[in-house]
Chain A
Amino acid sequence: MHSADKDYQRIVITGVGLTSPIGDSLPEYRAALLAGKSGVSNFETRYIGKVLAGICHFDSLKHQKRKDIRRGTRSGSIAVYCANEAVIDSGIDWLARNKSRVGVYLGITEHGNVETENEIYEISKFGHDTSVWSHHHNPRTVANNPAGEVTLSLNVTGPHLTIGAACAAGNAGFIQGLQMLRLGEVDLALAGGVSESIHTFGIFASFKSQNALATHDDPQKACRPFDVDRNGIVVAEGGAVCTLERLPDALARGAKIYGEIVGYAMNSDATDFVLPDRNRQVECMHLALQRAGLKPCDIDIVSSHATATEQGDIEESLALHEVFKDCPNVAINNTKSFIGHAMGAAGALELLGNIPAFDDGLAHATINLDKLDSRVPLTQIVANQPKQMGAVSCILNNSFGMLGINSVLIVKKYQPT
């Protein structure tokens, strides 16, 4: 056990695999973010008809057979793609790796709705005869499904689980991986978040009933966080998985290091099913900063959670103002304006899209911000065009979710000593 070694507690990102509506690799995704390219498009969903969504276009056959895809789930395919891409990107010698010391930790907002809706639709064609209900339903809908599909794909025999954390799940997946590494439970974590949410009509219908589903004649202008004309959420699918390792292990194999997770926090509002609470968000950010040994003005980029809803945007902007009001140089941006809300993958995708800023010194923008809502007291939002930052050394990533779950992750540029 090396836990007494201070560096043993330092966790770094050494590989990235992702799929998003605007790119299926980090370079492709980053280029689209810097180009201001929206990935929102028209989508047809059962019963509702036309909606807007962020749709991924990754090659699902790159790491799976057609039979695997047929048997599994969309979130499983997303997870398998991202995990395999992360492993390849990490340069780890996978054949030689001890797979019993690898853990898979994936955040999910929900899982099983897609598959259950599909089965109910299928049996409706048979007069709701339950004898035609698929024997695949249970393995498809168990909550660990996406992480389990990763273990099948990569022959991982260490622990795997999904972390149900509403829309804070992406960060939560990273945090779980980090904690397991620090505890010495595993030597490598495949961590992040995934979402197949656009394939359930229920999520669209529920947001619509909540008056929180975005509409716009131009799909690419539909997701408008902080803008006075925003009118709700654009649901997206996606995934992002990282290889996380202890710093000494990463250095020993000469790994490329994307950044070090230096701070994290999670807490609960305990106030409402859906309405956020800025006081707890503030506490969560402060706790993450404290654990990182950083002050607010040490942060260069804040990746905001804002989903383009009335309550969420205002509440988070007030929380951000309270934490960063004395930090005029911090850049606050928002990824959902490009891809929509990727639910369980949102926090992971939003963090990773900002990581290349350590190298290129740019803060990507928040697009579709034509007129800032006057109730948003932030002067630091990067609107519509990327901002040249010079050196970027710290990124703070907010990710919040229903039932009052908050998560904050802070990643620092790795500086060899």
Chain B
Amino acid sequence: MTADQIRQVVLGILARIAPDEDLSGLKDEVPFREQMELDSMDFLDIVMELRKMYRVQIPEEDYGNLVTMASTVTYLTPLLKDCSA
């Protein structure tokens, strides 16, 4: 998957776990939590969705990489490079 495709995947996950949010203006460099109502359980949903969709295991010490869209895409790009969109 390309970085753009990964961004779309993450957006899709966010849309499912925060269905009341308008994500059209989501800023890639701003932490998710500053733009959306996301708590720790929601955050675990992101991890869980990626695990289910792509069998990606994200260790707890790496959660800090999932703070913004930009950092999430950067972190996931090597992990998902062999996955199809």
Contacts and interface: CB of A to CB of B under 8 A. Distances in A.
B19 A135 contact: no
A67 B20 contact: yes
Given A71-B41, A131-B57, A126 B52 contact: yes
A132 B51 contact: yes
Contacts of B51: 131-132
B18 interface: yes
Contacts of B19: 65-67, 70
A148 to B, nearest CB: 14
Interface string A64-97: 0111001100000000000000000000000000
B8 to A, nearest CB: 21
Contacts, number: 26
Contact of B48 (A66, A135, A139): A135
A144 to B, nearest CB: 17
Interface string B37-74: 10001001100100110000100000000000000000
Contacts of B9: none
Contact of A135 (B20, B41, B52): B41
Contacts of A132: 48, 51-52
Given A126-B52, A131-B51, A136 B20 contact: no
Interface residues on B, range: 10 to 19
A232 B63 CA distance: 52
Contacts of B17: 67, 70
B33 to A, nearest CB: 15
A135 B40 CA distance: 11
A136 B44 CA distance: 9
Contacts of B20: 65-67
Task: Classify the interface of chain B: helix, strand, loop or mixed.
Answer: helix
A139 B39 CA distance: 14
- The winner among B16, B37, B48 for most chain A CB atoms within 10 A is B48
A66 B19 CA distance: 6
A136 B52 contact: no
Contacts of A70: 16-17, 19
A238 to B, nearest CB: 25
Contacts of B41: 71, 135-136, 139
A136 to B, nearest CB: 7
Contacts of A134: 48
Contacts of B52: 126, 132
B84 to A, nearest CB: 18
Interface in A302-333: none
A66 B51 CA distance: 23
Nearest to B19: A66
Contacts of A67: 17-20, 37
Contacts of B45: 135
Contacts of B37: 67
Contacts of A71: 41
A132 B45 CA distance: 10
Interface of A: 65-67, 70-71, 126, 131-132, 134-136, 139
Given A67-B17, A67-B19, A67-B37, 6 more contacts: A65-B20, A66-B20, A71-B41, A132-B51, A135-B45, A135-B48
12 contacts: A65-B19, A66-B19, A67-B19, A70-B17, A70-B19, A126-B52, A131-B57, A132-B48, A132-B51, A134-B48, A135-B41, A136-B41
